[in-house]
Amino acid sequence: MAGPVLEMRSIVKTFPGVKALSDVTLTVQQGEVHAICGENGAGKSTLMKVLSGVHPHGTYEGDILFEGEVCEFKDIRASEHRGIVIIHQELALSPYLSLAENIFLGNEHAKGGFVDWRETLRHATELLRRVGLSDHPDTRVADIGVGKQQLVEIAKALSKKVKLLILDEPTAALNDEDSGKLLDLILELKKQGITSIIISHKLNEIRKVADSVTIIRDGKTIETLDVKAKETTEDRIISGMVGRDLENRFPDRTPHEPEEGSAPALEIRNWTVHHPIDQQRKVVDDVSLSVRRGEIVGIAGLMGAGRTELAMSVFGRTYGRYHGGTVLKDGKEIRTKSVPEAVKNGIAYVTEDRKHYGLNLIDTINRNISLSALGKVAKGGVVDEHEERQVAEGFRKSMNIKAPTVFEPVGKLSGGNQQKVVLSKWIFAGPDVLILDEPTRGIDVGAKYEIYTVIDQLAAQGKAVVFISSELPELLGMCDRIYTMAAGRLTGEFSREEASQESLMRQMTKDKEVSR
Amino acid sequence: MSTDVTAKTPAPAPPGKSGGAAGDGLLQLVMDGMRRNMRQYGMLIALGLIVALFAVWTDGDLLLPRNVSNLVLQNSYILILAIGMMLVIIAGHIDLSVGSLTAFVGAMAAVFMVKNDMPWPLAVLLCLAVGALAGAVQGFFIAYGGIPSFIVTLAGMLIFRGLTEIFLEGQTLGPFPEGLQKVANGFLPEVGPNTNYHNLTLLLGFAMIAFVVFQEFRDRRRQQEFNLDVPPFNLFLLKLVALGAAILTLTMLLASYKGAPIVLLILGVLLVGFGYVMRNAIVGRHIYAIGGNLPAAKLSGVKDKKVTFLVFLNMGMLAALAGLVFAARFNAASPKAGLNFELEAIAASFIGGASMSGGVGTVLGAIIGGLVLGVLNNGMNLVGIGTDWQQVIKGLVLLAAVGFDVWNKRKVGS
């Protein structure tokens, strides 16, 4: 190795109210494949955005040295000009343009403002061959699979004379075969002298392709390990990712005593769901789980594990294509084919994405709270506005929603208060089972504690709670039982006593062995 | 115009030092309320200014009782369409077919009543059913077929216009039965002693004021029963006085001519009815919910497809009503009837506070928007501005109204 190609020194990046990166240092050697590891929200993607100029120079502190020179990128074009290309998780291809047009989009082979199709075709064919694709360059992007699209992205990067290729969770959306091909390509490019940074959760992948791995936690660099060294085991990486202390950030919970004999409030059996577009791909694969009244059951998993997809497909089939499985409520099979059916059967789903799926941001607090159960404040189809307002006022006080009146538009509230409105809405619907998807995402510590208290109270009232979260300490602090998911499958079940950050993370990073 | 009064009324003179604070608080409350509903109050004030401008410009001709009556009759069909269009736009859709549908229903009415001598009440019901069916078919394609409303109703616009010409064989058909004409052009009947005013209209006006006052008091008491905060009593009183004065002014104006046009009563019923549905009925809430955030509404258990379907069915029925009023007013069904009505109704909705992305707007807003356009039309006619410049000015008003809204939102930063 010929010394470092990239050095990022003491990077600090602050967003209003949040310190996303507090001190990150990253050194990447010339010609290596460098993996970056960390929990959801640790700051990996932010770091890559700083590097690629998405967050321009001046909005962060610290220095970036590329090939020994200090770089001050003001946008993506500037970093691409230097040969740093980032491929995001959501692919940035235009579906109805051809492969060739996509590869040279914004960077066309042209003569006097007109596209030189002959050169475009020649060069595209060459680049596609380099990434192992034999498709004709005139094929539309929409007509090839996600795996191939990922390769087209790399071809596009190669057209920009890439020196440092950054891949953000490149295999998250791919099946095993395509993942294998992609990883092989990364190794092939390495032979051609291209340095890569790969962000990944999948430890077996990291072991396959990476030379070294940097672990980031809570916006800080924890350590950089040599993957090829003997002592770098998967457990070693895991302990670096999770080593966070558990402070007293949770309400005291009396653990749930399971009553023998009675049927679980909610039981899911052999639930299988396929991706809505890529219908060959199993997103949820034969999952069976149960939750009892008064119990809080956690589901742990990393990005792409299929937790949200599981919850949404159970809640009125609002995600993907159903491919089998049953839902039982108190021991009896129920239909949950539509949201009204699920709600009628006493199931509520509190989304992870409150802005897009949880709230009507332009409407007021009271109207958002009542929406899923308007019948409760209405007679003969007519809403009693005063009763509705009284209900909302009640929640404003009991949930401590910080707003002058319940007539405030929800869009003006802070994240924590918005979350309380979504919770109020579903508590008002009066369900027996609440599925909470990342209920504390993006809210401050104080509001988190309040939400934990509410969840605890719900369980104490005899509701069954399913708690989906990426934050392991939160699951350990709140749950009676925790399931782990990885790549759409259930990979473990832990009692409160058995569960630890390490044991959970081990099951969460358990992927099928990458083929070959 | 009631808000105009509210805004200009100075806070009551402070009786003592503590009263001074209360007075300031009152003004504060009025200002707060106005800021929160900036768009609607803004349009009310704009309407007031436009009325004042033309009242001065025409030496008071605009506000002559006769002209006010005319204004209502001239704009009734656009206002009816605007109510339905407002619902469509709140739900996040658009309907381009209503102008053609208006003409088509007019043609059907002529075929029923002029060609086949059908009794007019039966024909009216049939026409409304035809409109509802037309709306339902379009709504079906939009809600259940997943075809964008812009496309479906653009197709409808062509289809209904073509069918109108086919049914009328390119000719103008008339006249309509007298009973129907009376509904569209007539006034409430004359009763009682001669008081120089139209008695029934006066009576109706007073009844309405009594009803409003009763409702407001009942509402206030109910709020207190639920232990909810109510606005201070003097503010409440101010609101009542403003509302009462507005109704009284309109009543006196109409009563000193031939009385209230029957169409005005129909409009009043539609305004109150649809206003109530949109505010208080579950289905109304669901319309706001699907327009405001469709995925969130679906995940809340709103039957979005059914609601969308109903919105278009309703639009079709209102278009039929507008078509009947239009045909009866001109006593003929013409292939060129209802030209550009859809655009007028859409403009009225946007001037009245609707948003391109849906989820926002009120039925009252649609009426205010329609009246802004109506008063502009009428006023410019009176002062002799040609239709060429009228269009230019109306275009500028639409641009200014929505531009103000966008600017105001950006300033607030929401």
**Is A270 a residue whose pLDDT tops 90?**
yes
CA A297, chain centre distance (Å): 20
Which residues contact residue B88 at a Cβ distance below 8 angstroms, ignoring those fewer than 6 apart? B94, B95, B149, B311, B312, B315
- Looking at residue A340, its pLDDT comes to 92
Determine the distance in angstroms separating the CA of A425 from the nearest CA of chain B, rounded to an integer. Answer: 9
Task: Pick A360's closest partner by Cβ from B228, B281, B359.
Answer: B359
pLDDT digits (tens, 9 = 90+) for A199-216: 987 788 888 899 999 998
pLDDT digits (tens, 9 = 90+) for A126-157: 999 999 888 899 999 988 888 888 899 999 99
Lowest average pLDDT, out of A328-337, A362-371, A488-497, B24-33, goes to B24-33
Interface test with B, best of A343, A368, A386, A418 (most B CBs within 10 A): A386
**Is B46 a residue whose pLDDT tops 90?**
no
**Residue B225 confidence class, pLDDT cut points 50, 70, 90:** confident
Mean predicted confidence (pLDDT) in A435-447: 82
- Whether the CB-CB separation of B288 and B359 falls below 8 Å is answered with yes
Q: What token pair was written down for B135? A: 């709306």
Q: Which residue did the predictor score with more confidence, B200 or B6? A: B200
pLDDT digits (tens, 9 = 90+) for B210-219: 998 998 898 8
Mean predicted confidence (pLDDT) in B251-272: 90
Mean predicted confidence (pLDDT) in B155-170: 95
Cβ contact (<8 Å) for B301 and A372? yes
Lowest average pLDDT, out of A147-156, B7-16, B143-152, goes to B7-16
ipTM above 0.85, yes or no: no
CA distance A90 to A98: 18
Looking at B111-258, list the stretches that DSSP marks H as alpha helix, in order from N- to C-terminal side: 120-143, 149-168, 178-185, 199-225, 233-255
Determine the distance in angstroms separating the CA of B284 from the nearest CA of chain A, rounded to an integer. Answer: 9
**Residue A44 confidence class, pLDDT cut points 50, 70, 90:** confident
Q: Is the dihedral of CA A288, A294, A300, A306 positive or negative?
A: positive
CA distance A512 to A515: 8
**Is B199 a residue whose pLDDT tops 90?**
no
**Is A18 a residue whose pLDDT tops 80?**
no
- Whether the CB-CB separation of B234 and B210 falls below 8 Å is answered with no
Tell me which chain A residues have a C-beta less than 8 angstroms from the C-beta of B296.
351, 356-360
Q: What is the mean pLDDT of chain A?
A: 88
Tell me which chain A residues have a C-beta less than 8 angstroms from the C-beta of B289.
360, 363, 371
**Is A244 a residue whose pLDDT tops 60?**
no
- Looking at residue B21, its pLDDT comes to 42
- Looking at residue A43, its pLDDT comes to 83
Lowest average pLDDT, out of A247-256, B191-200, B276-285, goes to A247-256
Q: What percent of chain A has a predicted confidence (pLDDT) above 90?
A: 52
Interface test with A, best of B39, B89, B300 (most A CBs within 10 A): B300
Mean predicted confidence (pLDDT) in B333-337: 92
**Is B23 a residue whose pLDDT tops 60?**
no
Task: Pick B300's closest partner by Cβ from A372, A383, A393.
Answer: A372
**Is B126 a residue whose pLDDT tops 90?**
yes
Q: What token pair was written down for B331? A: 């006593």
Task: Pick B293's closest partner by Cβ from A361, A370, A425.
Answer: A361
Cβ contact (<8 Å) for A367 and B227? no
Residue B293's nearest CA partner among A372, A275, A307, A384 is: A372
CATH class as words, domain A1-83+163-244? alpha beta
Amino acid at A303: M
- Which range of A152-156, A274-278, A418-422, B309-313 scores highest in mean pLDDT? It is B309-313
Tell me which chain A residues have a C-beta less than 8 angstroms from the C-beta of B360.
362
pTM equals 0.81
- Looking at residue A516, its pLDDT comes to 32
Mean predicted confidence (pLDDT) in B50-62: 90
What number of C-beta contacts closer than 8 Å exist between A and B? 89
Cβ contact (<8 Å) for A339 and B359? no
**Is A190 a residue whose pLDDT tops 90?**
yes
Mean predicted confidence (pLDDT) in A394-416: 88
Determine the distance in angstroms separating the CA of A150 from the nearest CA of chain B, rounded to an integer. Answer: 28
- Whether the CB-CB separation of A1 and A32 falls below 8 Å is answered with yes
**Residue B30 confidence class, pLDDT cut points 50, 70, 90:** low
- Looking at residue B186, its pLDDT comes to 86
Q: Tell me which DSSP letter residue A168 carries.
A: E
pLDDT digits (tens, 9 = 90+) for B390-402: 999 999 999 988 8
Which residues contact residue B207 at a Cβ distance below 8 angstroms, ignoring those fewer than 6 apart? none
Which residues contact residue A110 at a Cβ distance below 8 angstroms, ignoring those fewer than 6 apart? A116
- Looking at residue A243, its pLDDT comes to 67
**Is B12 a residue whose pLDDT tops 60?**
no
Q: What percent of chain A has a predicted confidence (pLDDT) above 70?
A: 95
**Is A34 a residue whose pLDDT tops 90?**
yes
- Boundaries of every domain in chain B: 74-186+261-370
- Looking at residue B33, its pLDDT comes to 64
Q: What token pair was written down for A51? A: 């590097």
Architecture of domain A266-346+431-508: 3-Layer(aba) Sandwich (3.40)
Nearest CA in chain A to B300: A372
**Is B414 a residue whose pLDDT tops 70?**
no
Mean predicted confidence (pLDDT) in A495-507: 90
Residues of A near B (CB-CB distance < 8 A)? 315-316, 318, 339-340, 342-343, 349, 351, 356-363, 367, 370-372, 374-375, 378, 381-387, 389-390, 393, 407, 409, 411-412, 425
Amino acid at B156: G
pLDDT digits (tens, 9 = 90+) for A467-479: 999 888 889 989 9
**Is B148 a residue whose pLDDT tops 90?**
yes
Tell me which chain B residues have a C-beta less than 8 angstroms from the C-beta of A396.
none
